[in-house]
Structure 1
Amino acid sequence: MRVALLAESFLPHMNGVTGSVLQILRHLAAEGHDTLVIAPRAGEVDGDLHGARTELLRSVPLPGYPDVRVVFARAARLTAILRDFRPDVIHLASPFVLGWQGLAAADALRVPAVAVYQTDIVAYARKYGMPRATSLVGRHVSRLHRRATITLAPSSPAMRQLEELGVDRLRRWGRGVDSVRFAPHRRSERWRSQVAPGETVIGYVGRLAPEKQVEDLAAVADLPGTRLVIVGDGPSRPALERMLPRALFTGHLGGAALAETLASFDVFVHPGESETFGQTIQEALASGVPVVATGVGGPVDLVRSSIDGWLYRPGDLSDLRARVADLVGDDAKRRAFAAAAEESVRHRTWDALCSQLIGHYEDARMLRPIDDALLRRAATRPSAPPAAPAARPRWSRYVALGDSLTEGLCDTSRMPAGQHRGWADRLAQLLAHEGSDAEPFRYANLAVRSRRVRDLTEEQLPRALALRPDLVSILIGANDLVGRPVDIAALAAEVETSVRALRDAGADVLLVTPFLPRRRAAVLLGRRFAAFASELRRVAADTGAILLDMESLPAIGDLELWASDRVHLRSRGHRFLAYRAADALGVPDAGALGGLDAALHVDDDPVAEGTWLGRDVLPWVWRRLHGRKAGDGIAAKHSGYVIIGGRGDVRSRARTP
């Protein structure tokens, strides 16, 4: 793969963005990928770029913060550079000015762009006393990330912030930590005896700038028996040195010196409230140093309060002082927190994170041509499954509506002869595992093969409302779209009527867009399915339904997920859909569970007999000619509630809702 990385800052200025880019270059080189870095020219670049080609552009320093450079490059210049490199994907590292021009170049070349949100520019504008610019900056960030093929956010607070700005396609991607460089064995008693003999060391590492709120460290600077050590540089350093005369300011440190200093701290404090992640927090944890950080932004995902550190109330400096004093005064607690801190980041290696990044690149490469085709048809682009809510409802009554896909046709995995399982059954089991022990989980499946949208509104909806569910899934419309010419807007409006009726009754609705296998014949129907999905996105937005947009998951089209009849999912496909639905509903670790299930589960789909033409096509044509449907005379498999036990087993049928 050929990857072009556009970075708003780069060597020799080292910060979180630069550090991430260097780690990505290392991993991509090790995996045999070709890389190009486009970044501001700010001085001599003497770091190891792992064979990357560079295009360093003329830049100017940001007023008041000369370490930050701004590139004013024309999109035409970037397009020419990128056309010469021929990238498969463009990686935008903390995009703002250069990143916006990079997006224009990506659109001109029809190349997918992956934007990595690393800097809370909106908060920075506020901290630097530019309140009038804050809303302008927010609108720019929103437009930029909505234009990217995919946006990667490092933490759940960053995801929520971008969602509030209207960014519609988000994926979670954190940061790796160098656990070889940052480790407890780097602790140096020699360093401690020179810097703080006999004292407990309270430390901070990071830029010395207004947005980092380093002045809040004054709240802990006079704790008895302690020494405050501040590592870093920036425009706020002169004022901080006057404010904290007893603190030791080391200036910028890197390499072994930084690793030794960080591991030699007893407590690490991070007061900044505008962190999208908090890489130095992660490095402190890897060094076996407990962390006290503000309970907002990126630190919320990194620090486990009362396990490996403390999160204090944002802006409450007395709480900050109390949390630090608690660790300073209790050696045993500090040691326990330190051990937990090291363990918490053991799995967050850069190799693991960069492998995930390549997966996001592949997703973007599949999505870009879909986006372009939809835009040519004046349809909206597919949106990623929503981020898991911070506190999701505990559903206990789930009803599935739809056609043969939701009935589970062709999913015979571990089922008696003649019976089917299906994605909705699998989803019900996952939800039952997460349900309340005090209340049984009830599940009904009213879906029947060959059903259309009209059957949803006239037959399935009234029965669903009578069951008084708190969660309903709807996957319907494919049978309408493959038949005679259809009014797409009217069809979606009919679905909307059902969704609104369920929402008015107090139920949450999971709305799933219909999808097609990746076959040549399916191309003929692609325009209809895309237009219907575009309408369903509007329905979900207008009604508050949870949307599972299958066009944002191109893997569903892989033929290995489809049965031999070429129109239904096989067991592997039903598993894929079930775990994607669980992820959209906020089931914890649904993605990891899905991967484990796929690795351990051997499909036992029977081998179909006969040819596709004789076995599947001709019977379908015969039914059509005689005005019959495959679902004639077939009842829903769970027309009333069944109770699913804690292990996902169906125990009994519930007589009442």
Structure 2
Amino acid sequence: MRVALLAESFLPHMNGVTGSVLHVLRHLAADGHETLVIAPRAGEITTDLHGARTELMRSVPLPSYPDVRVVFARAARLTAILREFAPDVVHLASPFVLGWQGVAAADALRVPAVAVYQTDVVAYAEKYGMPHASSLVGRHLARLHRRATLTLAPSTASMRQLEELGVDRLRRWGRGVDTARFGPQRRSEVWRARIAPGELIVGYVGRLAPEKQVQDLAALAGLEGVRLVIVGDGPARPALERLLPHAVFTGHLSGDALAETLASFDVFVHPGESETFGQTIQEALASGVPVVATGVGGPVDLVRSSVDGWLYRPGDLADLRARVADLVGDGGKRRAFAAAAGESVRDRTWDAVCRRLMAHYDEARQLRPIDDALPRGGVTRPSVPEPPAGRRTWSRFVALGDSITEGLCDTSRMPAGEYRGWADRLAQLLAHARRGDEPFRYANLAVRSRTVRSLVDEQVPQALALRPDLVSVLIGANDLVARRVDPVAVAADVEVAVRRLRDAGIDVLLVTPFLPGRRAAAIFARRFAMFASELRRIAADTGAALLDTAVFLDAGGRPAIADLELWADDKVHLRSRGHRFLAYRAAEALGVPDAEALGDLEAALHADDDPVASGTWLRRDALPWVWRRLRGRTAGDGRVAKHEGYVLIGGRGDVRAGLRAG
């Protein structure tokens, strides 16, 4: 894979953004990937870049913080650089100015862009005396991250912040810690005797800048037998030295010197309230040092209060002092917290974190072709579904929809004239997933040719009367192929139906309709994309589960459901193989254990036994459809649902009341 990394700040200035980029470069190089770094030019670079090519751009220092430099690069220049490198993915490290141009260049080349949120720029604007600019900064961040293919946030707090800004496609991706470098074995009594002989050491490591709130450590003044040690540098250092005259300021440390210093602390303290993560907190924990940090932002995910440290009330400096005093005054508690601290980061190595990053790259590469196929403006982008939190089972399942959910053309191991279908198969999977022997109840109210209006007026009332705990909804294709149709208006009727079900306390699986990969179907592609976009919004607004058929791609980057091998001879319905595919994707969306493995097994053991259709497609399928339309009739006229009431699927998967196994 070829990865282009655009870093808003870079060497020789060392901070969290630079550090994480260097770790990513190392991991990518070790796995044989090619990398390009585009970043501000700020001075000589002597650090090993692990074979990465570099394009260092002319930059200007930020007036209030000269260590931070800003690149004003034209998108056309970045586009040319990226076109020549031909990346498979663009990694935007803490994007803001350079990142905005980078995401525009990625769009121009149709390359997936993964934006890594690392800096709370909104909070920084306020800390640097620009409160009126914070809303503008927030809007810019929201536009940038919504434009990226995928956004990675390091903590639950930053996830919530971005969600409140309206950013979609969020994934959690933290930072690794170098457990080989940072560890309790680095503790040095020689260093301690030189810095603070006979005293306990409370230390801070980080940038000395207003947003870090290091001045809050003045609350620790006068703690008996305690020496405050400040590691780091930055524009606030002169003022802090005046404010904290008894503290030891070491300046910037890195590498083994930093590891020795951290491990030699007795307590690590971090007062910043605008941390998206808190890398130095993680390094302190790895060093076996208990942490006292503010109970907001990134530290909340890292510090287990009363286990390996304390979280104090944000802004409450008396509480900060009390928490530090508690640890420096109790050696037994300090040792217990220290032991737990080391254990907490055991599985947070950079190798493990970078493996997860590669999975996010792969997801972005899946999503980019889908984004390119969507009509521009006013649509909600699909997201690859994440596994539901926790395992849920149901006992009463009702399927709603049209001929696809009825199962038309799925004749696998069924008597003549009867059909099986994806919903029947899903019902059996749900029954198998239940514990115990209690029968599973299943009804299928779908009827061929039905429209969304039928869903609202007929099927939802019938479903409510059955009092299910799960309902699936797959409908809308018949509306969307009409001569004139407003996909948004059709989706609004689906929303009415979904909200009625959700208001009754029923879980809903909402499935986006799909088209076969035929040239003739392309005339409806825009309508289906707009309708699916609205269904994604409805699912997000109502808490419905979503089976987004667009996100399962084949080797060519198209939705896999479009593969003609899944479609019947009539060119508009799924064959048995297609219904199997849909059933197992639905089971995955609902969190059924081992659904994918079960699907592969069934596909291997059961070849399709659908009969070969006789006659030509024109005479057999097309002309009867046209004749019905001319007469104002549909194939579903006079038909009733195949399972208007519940059929029982036994606890062991045996099927009664006419629903056949196989």
Task: Name 1:76's counterpart in structure 2.
Answer: 76
1:150-190 Cα deviation digits (max 9, x unpaired): 11111111111111111122222211221111222222232
The answer as to whether partners of 1:61 and 1:67 remain within 8 angstroms in 2 is yes
CA separation in 1, counterparts of 2:159 and 2:432?
A: 28
Give the CA deviation at 1:76: 1.9
The match for 2:548 among 547, 550, 556 is 550
Moved more, 90-99 or 290-299: 290-299
Q: Say whether residues 1:534 and 2:533 are aligned partners.
A: yes
| SS class of match (1:604) | helix
Q: Is the 8 A contact 1:312 1:323 kept in 2?
A: yes
Distance (whole Å) between structure 2 residues aligned to residue 272 and residue 372 of structure 1: 40
Q: Distance in 2 between matches of 1:267 and 1:640?
A: 64
SS at match of 2:182: coil
Alpha-carbon distance change, 311 to 60 in structure 1, aligned in 2, over 3 angstroms: same
Which range moves more in the overlay, 202-211 or 331-340?
A: 331-340
In structure 2, relative to structure 1, the CA distance for the partners of 1:36 and 1:58 (3 Å cut) is same
Q: Where in structure 1 are there 5+ consecutive unaligned residues?
A: 434-439, 583-592, 653-657
Aligned to 1:126: 126
Partner of 2:631: none
Give 3-state SS (helix, strand or coil) of 2:227's partner: strand
Match status 1:297 vs 2:304? no
Show the counterpart of 2:243: 243
The 3-state SS of whatever aligns with 2:39 is strand
3-state SS, counterpart of residue 305 of structure 1: coil
Deviation readout 1:309-360 (Å, 9 max, x if unpaired): 2222111122222222232233333333223222222222222222222222
The alignment status of 1:191 with 2:198, answered yes or no, reads: no
Distance across 1 between alignment mates of 2:599 and 2:22: 38
- The worse-fitting range, judged by mean Cα deviation, of 89-98 and 420-429 is 420-429
Go from structure 1 to structure 2 and tell me whether the alpha carbon gap of 1:244 and 1:446 turns closer, same or farther (over 3 Å shift): farther
Q: 1:286 to 1:395 in 2, by over 3 A?
A: farther
Q: What's 1:603 paired with?
A: 601
3-state SS of 1:238 partner: helix
Deviates more, 1:197-206 or 1:289-298: 197-206
Structure 1 distance, partners of 2:191, 2:580, is 60
| Counterparts of 1:351 and 1:300, CA distance in 2 | 23
Question: Aligned-pair distance for 1:559?
Answer: 6.9
Which one-letter code corresponds to 1:35 in the other structure?
T
1:126-145 correspondence to structure 2 within 5 Å: 126-145=126-145
When residues 617 and 530 of structure 1 are mapped into structure 2, their CA distance, relative to the original with a 3 A threshold, is farther
1:158 match: 158
Aligned positions of 1:299-314 closer than 5 A: 299-314=299-314
SS of equivalent residue, structure 2 residue 607: coil
Paired residue for 1:476?
Answer: 475
2:11 paired residue number: 11
Distance 1:20 1:402 in 2: 49
Measured after TM superposition, the shift of residue 478 of structure 1 is 4.4
Question: Quick one: distance in 2 between partners of 1:344 and 1:599?
Answer: 33
Query: For the Cα contact (< 8 Å) 1:492–1:532, is it kept in 2?
Result: yes
Aligned residue in 1 for 2:359: 359
Matches within 5 A, 1:476-555: 476-478=475-477, 488-503=487-502, 505=504, 511-515=510-514, 526-537=525-536, 539=538, 544-546=542-544, 548=546, 550=548, 553-555=551-553
CA contact (8 A) 1:476 1:514 kept: yes
CA separation in 1, counterparts of 2:106 and 2:59?
21
CA drift of 1:479 comes to: 5.9
1:84 Cα deviation from its structure 2 partner: 1.8
Equivalence map 1:268-283=2 (5 Å): 268-283=268-283
Match of 1:587 in 2: none
Letter in 2 for 1:159: M
- Could you list the runs of 5+ residues in structure 2 that have no partner in the other structure? 413-418, 569-573, 629-633, 657-662
Counterpart for residue 374 of structure 2: 374
Cα deviation code 1:387-412 (max 9, x no counterpart) = 99999999999866446777899899
Q: Hey, what does 2:47 align to over in structure 1?
A: 47
- Evaluate the alpha carbon distance shift between residue 58 and residue 621 of structure 1 in structure 2; reply closer, same or farther with a 3 A threshold: same
Counterpart in the other structure of 1:460: 459
Deviation per CA, 1:104-136: give whole Å up to 9, x if none. Answer: 222222222111111000000011111111111
Contact kept in structure 2, 1:518 and 1:558, CA below 8 Å: no
Q: How far 1:62 sits from its partner (Å)?
A: 0.8
8 Å CA contact 1:62, 1:70 repeated in 2: yes
Specify the code of the residue in structure 2 equivalent to 1:457.
Answer: V
Residue aligned with 2:142, SS: helix
Partner of 1:25: 25
**Residue 223 of structure 1: aligned partner:** 223
Report the alpha carbon displacement of residue 261 of structure 1 after superposing the two structures with TM: 1.3
Report the 3-state secondary structure (helix = DSSP H, G, I; strand = E; otherwise coil) of the residue aligned with 1:92: strand
**Do 2:312 and 2:323's aligned partners in 1 also have CA atoms closer than 8 Å?**
yes
Provide the rounded CA distance (Å) in 2 between the counterparts of 1:609 and 1:505: 39
**Alignment partner, residue 56 of structure 1:** 56
Distance between the aligned counterparts of 1:60 and 1:345, measured in 2?
38
Task: Return closer, same or farther for 1:148/1:321 CA change in 2, 3 Å cut-off.
Answer: same
C-alpha separation between the residues in 1 aligned to 2:521 and 2:504?
37
- How many residue pairs align between the two structures? 627
Please report how far the alpha carbon of residue 577 of structure 1 lies from its aligned counterpart in structure 2 after TM superposition.
3.6
TM-score, scaled relative to structure 2: 0.81
Q: Any idea what SS the aligned residue of 2:82 has?
A: helix
1:32–1:388: structure 2 CA closer, same or farther, 3 Å change rule?
closer
One-letter identity of the residue aligned with 2:154:
P
Q: Distance in 2 between matches of 1:225 and 1:562?
A: 77
Paired with 1:334 and 1:35, the residues of 2 have a C-alpha distance of 44
Task: Tell whether the 8 Å contact from 2:431 to 2:653 is kept in structure 1 after alignment.
Answer: no
AA at the equivalent of 2:89: V
Contact 1:221–1:247 (Cα < 8 Å) also in 2: no
User: Matched residue of 2:601: which SS?
Assistant: coil
Task: Say if 1:411 and 1:574, in contact at 8 Å, map to a contact too.
Answer: no
Counterpart amino acid of 1:370?
Answer: I
- Aligned residues: percent identity? 66
Match in the other structure for 1:585? none
What amino acid sits opposite 2:381 in the alignment? Answer: P
Q: How far apart are 1:93 and its partner, in Å?
A: 0.7
1:137 positional shift = 0.8
Deviation at 1:536, TM superposition (A): 2.5
Distance (whole Å) between structure 1 residues aligned to residue 507 and residue 560 of structure 2: 30
Q: Secondary structure at the match of 1:603?
A: helix
Contact 2:282 2:302 in 1 (8 A): yes
SS for the counterpart of 2:374 is: helix
How far apart, in 2, do the equivalents of 1:603 and 1:195 lie? 65
Q: Which amino acid in 2 is paired with 1:7? A: A
TM-aligned CA deviation for residue 503 of structure 1: 5.0
Q: Structure 1's 166 and 424: CA in aligned 2 closer, same or farther, altered over 3 A?
A: farther
Give the letter aligned to residue 551 of structure 2: L
Using a 3 Å threshold, how does the CA distance of structure 1 residues 446 and 601 change in structure 2: closer, same or farther? Answer: closer
Larger radius of gyration: 2
Distance (Å, rounded) in 2 between the aligned partners of 1:66 and 1:13: 10
Q: Which residue of 2 aligns with 1:384?
A: 383
Q: Which whole-Å deviations, capped at 9, do the CAs of 1:438-468 have from their partners, x for residues lacking one?
A: xx99986555474653442233311333356
The residue that corresponds to 2:324 in the other structure is 324
Question: How far apart, CA to CA, are the structure 2 residues paired with 1:335 and 1:428?
Answer: 51
Partner of 2:108: 108
Q: Relative to structure 2, which stretch is displaced further, 635-644 or 186-195?
A: 635-644
Distance (Å, rounded) in 1 between the aligned partners of 2:479 and 2:367: 25
1:35 alignment partner in structure 2: 35
SS in 2 for 1:498: helix
Secondary structure of the 1:375 match is coil
Residues of 2 paired with 1:84 and 1:90: CA distance?
13
> For residues 73 and 547 of structure 1, do their structure 2 counterparts lie closer, same or farther at Cα, with a shift above 3 Å needed?
farther
Q: In 2, Cα distance between the equivalents of 1:649 and 1:184?
A: 55
Task: Determine the structure 2 residue equivalent to 1:172.
Answer: 172
Partners in 1 of 2:439 and 2:285 — Cα distance? 40
* Residue type of the alignment partner of 2:279: Q
| RMSD (CA atoms) | 4.3
Query: Using a 3 Å threshold, how does the CA distance of structure 1 residues 265 and 573 change in structure 2: closer, same or farther?
Result: farther
Seen in structure 2, the aligned counterparts of structure 1 residues 312 and 9 have a Cα distance that, compared at 3 Å, is same
